[in-house]
Amino acid sequence: MDTSAYYQALLTRRQELTQRLGKIDDDLNDPRSADMEEQAVEAENDEVLEGLGHAGEAELKGIDAAIERIGKGTYGFCVTCGAPIVPERLALLPATPFCQDCARQ
> What is the C-alpha separation between 48 and 54, in angstroms, rounded?
10
Instruction: Enter the pTM of the model.
Output: 0.84
Share of the chain above pLDDT 90, in %: 76
- 55-96 pLDDT, tens digit per residue, is 999 999 999 999 999 999 999 999 999 999 999 999 999 999
